[in-house]
Structure 1
Amino acid sequence: MKTTRLIMSTFIIAIFCSNILTAQNNEATLLTASEITVKSGHNAQFMEGVKLWKECYLKDKGENNWSMWRRDQGEGNVYVMTGNMPNWAELDKEDERGKDCYMTIVNFIWPHVEKVDQTIAKTMPDYSRSWPDDAKYCRVTYYKVNKGYAFEQVISAVSNSIKEKEGTPRAVWYDFQFGGPESPEYMVVLPFTKYADLDISRDSPAKIYTDAVGEEKADEMWVKWFDTVDDSWSYTFTLMTELSN
């Protein structure tokens, strides 16, 4: 994450790296995410500011990539800037690229930002699919849980049942490593290429697991699920290609 320190030092945008929301080569990687809430009435100015920063960064021959996602539901204008790094050592690396663009952030992005919430999550490749290259949208469900080990037992069993029936898991799972007191413990990300994909009728994960193990064993698993999950919520996000690299 070579440009991370410069961006984080201004409390604005987070971490730039290779590819968004991707579980690579069945090895766990780290997902960095900055949830950016834009001030009311400042959305157009914020977008133009990010475009100016991107133009400056590329002109300065910056080589890192990032993805900017717009949240499609909920209050206000919220964006999530994400990147993926292979290990923690990436945070120790320095990059001179983009430092000439510091004032672009200060003058054209920061004035339009209300707040930034930064998190780091780790992929869970044993339960996850690979990220499709053509995905332009994703559905993200967040979970606050009180027993992480029990939660992972459930998602492992259900994901394996889906994999046995369909050949691969449907989504990408993440385990949050760092975040604030309101941050979730886990999230699952379902990629799709168009909203019409959500109209496709498929058996639910619960049905697939129940069909595989029988109702009695499935009921035991659902008791464990509801005992460990304190809260959950979902949004869909749209990839903003003009703000990404």
Structure 2
Amino acid sequence: MKKLMYVLFFVPMLFLAQENKGFILDVTEITVKLGQDASFVQGVKAWKECYLENNGDDKWNMWRRIQGEGSVYVITGRMANWAEFDAPPKDANKECYHVVMNLIMPHVEKIKSSLARSIPDWGSSEALANTGLVWVTNFKVNNSTTFAEVVKDVGAAMVSQGEKRTAYWYGVIGGDPDDADYFISNPYEKFSDLDMDEASVWEVYEKAHGKKKMMETRNKFRGCLEDAWSYLYKRMADLSN
């Protein structure tokens, strides 16, 4: 997305040191005012039309959160490195800024921006075709070293048992004290895919290492967790690019 929402909304971001691996995920969470979803969506459509007419070439995904308080939309985009933040605003952003101010911002209650670094060693390297949904689980941890050890161990057990489930791990870069430290995104094509019966990761781990080892590893994992929560998001194809 290359600074897209930074340019549009002037949301400050906190850049802190992090592992130099994987791409940077730019995440902008937008809470829409009560009863103004339709107007907000029409505003985003108008902005996208303007952006493309002015030869804008950035790529992004727009997601609508299914559960939780309020009406929340999330815009995500990838950057290969920090240098992309140095690029000046493109003409398309400048030409369409009036659409943001007149047709989008009046319907926005609040905006939160965050950054994360993908961790390809922990999850899948290939994208799921036709992703329509993502189930995102967030983890706040008290011991990153132990957390990483367990995630890698469980991942290896999944592979050893032939479980090739698509999943993407991210480490959060800075942010508010209550933010997650890591999150995993599990993609699905459609809602009916959620009805499929699958063994849990701990059932697979037990199959690979036995119940005693599974219990030890699961307790180790729970011991390094401060909190965990998850949301399901639906991709808005007509608002994405």
Same fold (TM > 0.5): yes
Distance 2:167 2:228 in 1: 16
Residue 220 (str. 1) matches residue 216 (str. 2): yes
Q: Which amino acid aligns with 1:88?
A: W
2:232 aligned to 218, 232, 236, which one?
A: 236
Q: Which amino acid aligns with 2:209?
A: V
Indicate conservation of the 8 Å contact 2:128/2:166, yes or no.
no
Indicate conservation of the 8 Å contact 2:8/2:93, yes or no.
no
Q: Where does 1:65-84 land on structure 2 (aligned, <5 Å)?
A: 65-84=59-78
Percent same amino acid among aligned pairs? 38
Tell me the residue number matched to 1:143.
Answer: 139
| TM-score between both structures, scaled by the size of structure 1 | 0.89
Q: Which amino acid aligns with 2:213?
A: K
1:93 aligned to 87, 90, 94, which one?
A: 87
1:105 aligned to 100, 104, 109, which one?
A: 100
Tell me the residue number matched to 1:159.
Answer: 155
Residue 51 (str. 1) matches residue 45 (str. 2): yes
Residue 124 (str. 1) matches residue 119 (str. 2): yes
Indicate conservation of the 8 Å contact 1:162/1:170, yes or no.
no
How far did residue 99 of structure 1 move? 0.6
Tell me the residue number matched to 1:174.
Answer: 170
Tell me the residue number matched to 1:24.
Answer: none
Residue 134 (str. 1) matches residue 130 (str. 2): yes
Distance 2:8 2:159 in 1: 39
Aligned to 1:170, the other structure's residue is in SS state coil
Residues 141 and 2 of structure 1: CA distance in aligned 2, closer, same or farther (over 3 Å): closer
Tell me the residue number matched to 2:187.
Answer: 191
Indicate conservation of the 8 Å contact 1:127/1:155, yes or no.
yes
How far did residue 202 of structure 1 move? 1.4
Tell me the residue number matched to 2:8.
Answer: 7
Residues 165 and 152 of structure 1: CA distance in aligned 2, closer, same or farther (over 3 Å): same
How far did residue 98 of structure 1 move? 2.1
Per-residue CA distance 1:189-218 (angstroms, 9 max, x = gap): 110111111111111100111111122222
Distance 2:194 2:75 in 1: 24
Indicate conservation of the 8 Å contact 2:54/2:91, yes or no.
no
Give structure 2 stretches of 5+ with no counterpart: 14-20
Distance 1:200 1:139 in 2: 14
How far did residue 4 of structure 1 move? 4.9
Aligned to 1:224, the other structure's residue is in SS state helix
Distance 1:224 1:28 in 2: 27
Tell me the residue number matched to 1:35.
Answer: 29
Aligned to 1:141, the other structure's residue is in SS state strand
How far did residue 237 of structure 1 move? 0.6
Indicate conservation of the 8 Å contact 1:3/1:97, yes or no.
no
How far did residue 102 of structure 1 move? 0.9
Indicate conservation of the 8 Å contact 1:163/1:169, yes or no.
no
Residues 4 and 238 of structure 1: CA distance in aligned 2, closer, same or farther (over 3 Å): closer
Moved more, 36-45 or 95-104: 95-104
| TM-score between both structures, scaled by the size of structure 2 | 0.91
Distance 1:191 1:109 in 2: 28
Q: Aligned residue pairs: how many?
A: 231
How far did residue 166 of structure 1 move? 2.4
